[in-house]
Each structure stands twice: as structure tokens, then as C-alpha cells.
Amino acid sequence: MRAASDEKLNVRGLSAYYLTEKGPVKAVDSVNFALSQSESLGIVGESACGKSTLGSALMRSLQPPGKIVGGSILLDGEDISKLPGREFDKKIRWKKVAMVFQGAMNALDPVYTVGSQLRELLKEHEFEGDFGSKILDSLKQVGLAPGVASRYPHELSGGMKQRVVIAMALLLEPEILIADEPTTALDVLVQSQIIALLKRLHKEKGVTVVLISHDLALVSQIADKIGIMYAGQLVEVGSTQDIYTKPKHPYTQALIAAVPRLHSNEKKIRFIPGSPPSLLDPPAGCRFYSRCPHAMTVCQRDPPEFPSDTGYVRCWLYDPTLKST
Ligand code: SF4
């Protein structure tokens, strides 16, 4: 275990709901994890499990009816979830925590060159240095030639646009970069280039990367730790090696078993029967209960969470005191 002083980010009991007319949709519920500056985290889960909401909550970018309703986000020991909006914008957003939003490369303004869009961002954040060299530096950092600054988004390939978006996020030198599905809609070759870029930024520049994806294999290429998200909760957090080689939670086990293997003799692709519960009215106990082959009585009643070697697991199977149910 790392000493608390080594912690860059510590998320405790974070809950973010969508307050709809039908009631609160509990998209992120009691999420816990901690990261040091030198670590990177992968958040993996199927569609609509709450992983993008978690990213937006960390960035304080949830739009109504989305709202952080509980818990804390400690950045260097300061709870940034409680900072007044203006103070968060001034001190934290883009300067300490930046995010590459899902589909952001398609949101580049088509009528402005890359350089003017980067310049606008610097102006907005009252950057005091030399705009030109800052822009060229940030393009270089993501492997783009200086000439890209004078080009329009439609003149760039998908991979180049994604690099521009990452350059924008890195412009004010944040310590934490949250990347939500940064390789969606890119071909396999470009995907691996973007992952290599994030890896390099993490290793060489010391940026703490939080990578959100549905693709466990992709995430494992960069993450030191992985959090498996299911129905709004992180059901297992551990080192990438532990998650891959000895997954504990039945959902993690099923997720890994469902990945098709190139050299396997299995004729059928495995899948997880059933569907996730409604987040409007999730079960009181384990949220995987209705799909779990090991479900016990206690699972339906109480929500579990137990420490593991490199993180924790939300499953009653790992309760050291549970003798019978
Ligand atoms: Fe299955 Fe129970 Fe563990 Fe949930 S707590 S994953 S139902 S064994």
C-alpha cells in the first residue's frame, strides 16, 4: 500500500445522480479509488454503466439534471468537489485536471484553424506566456508538426484530430488527464498510436492518466490499475495484473471470459446472461445479483466491499467472516 502522502487523487464515496422526474438515476454510486501521481487508472465497463458520468463528475462537468450528490474528490488532499464553481474553474479545470470528452474530436470548430482554437483556449484561461511557442510545444508533445496549427479540422485525419484534442487538454499542463473513450471511431492502427501517446505522456511527462473505455485489452496497455464498473459502481479495483490474471468479482471474471481468444478451441462466444438493473431503482445489495452464478441470500440484502491485495472487491464471496448465509 502507498503512503497517503503519495496520493494525488483520492475519490471517496462519490455519487452522481441524474435527478429526473421519475426519480434519481444513480449513475455513479459510492465510488472509491485512490491514485498516486505516477499511476494511471483504467475504468472499464459496458455501455451505460456510468463510466462517462464518473469522468464528468471528476471534472465537475455534469450538466443538469446530473449532479454530484455525495462523497469527496480529494486532489492533493483538497476536496475539489466542494469548491465553489468559479474557484474550481480558476484553479482546477484544465490547469490541474483536464478531460478529453467522448467524441470531442468531432466538436472541433470547422471554421477556425487548429492554431486559433488553441489560442482561444489560452486567452480564455489568461495564459501569460508566449502563445505561439506554447501552441507549437503542445502540438509537438502529441507528435504533430508545427504546420498543423494553420490547418482546419476537415484537413486532418481522425487520428490527427484526436491528437489536437489531446493537445488542447494538455495546453495548461494539467497533472491529471481524463480520457473518455479516446480511440472510438479510429482504426486499429491509429488506436494503438493514441494509446502509445497517452502512455508516453504518462511515463515521460508524469501526467496521471484516467482512461475510460469499454475495452479491457486496450486499457491494460497503459493502466497500472483497473477499476471495473458495473451498474454505477466500481465492483473491483486492483492492479492491472491482478485484474487480468486473478479476477475476483464474478462480473470481472465473466467479462474476461467473454473476450474471444484467437487461438482458443472454443466454438461459442461467451456472454453474460441477463441485463444490468435499472439505475432508477437499483437493488439494495449487490447490483450483479440477478446475473451472478454464485448469488447467496446475503447478496440481495446488503452491499459488500472488502479489501483485496491491490484494491478492493464488492462481493460477499470475499467476506472473511461470512461462514453461512
Ligand atoms: Fe455474486 Fe453475491 Fe458476489 Fe454479488 S456479492 S457478485 S451476487 S456472489
Which tens digit of pLDDT belongs to each residue from 28-86? 999 999 999 889 999 999 999 999 999 999 999 999 999 999 999 999 999 999 999 99
Domains of the chain: 4-96+174-261+268-318 (3.40.50.300)
Residues 6+ apart with CB under 8 A from 133: none
Identify the residue whose C-alpha is closest to ligand 1 atom 5. 315
Q: Is residue 182 within 6 Å of ligand 1 at its C-beta?
A: no
Which tens digit of pLDDT belongs to each residue from 169-219? 999 999 999 999 999 878 888 888 899 999 999 999 889 999 999 999 999
Cβ proximity of 294 and 209 under 8 Å: no
SS3 at position 70: strand
Distance 246 CA to ligand 1 centre (A): 16
Which residue bears the cell 467476506? 319
The runs of H, that is alpha helices, within 150-284 are 158-170, 188-205, 216-220, 240-245, 250-257
Q: Is residue 276 within 6 Å of ligand 1 at its C-beta?
A: no
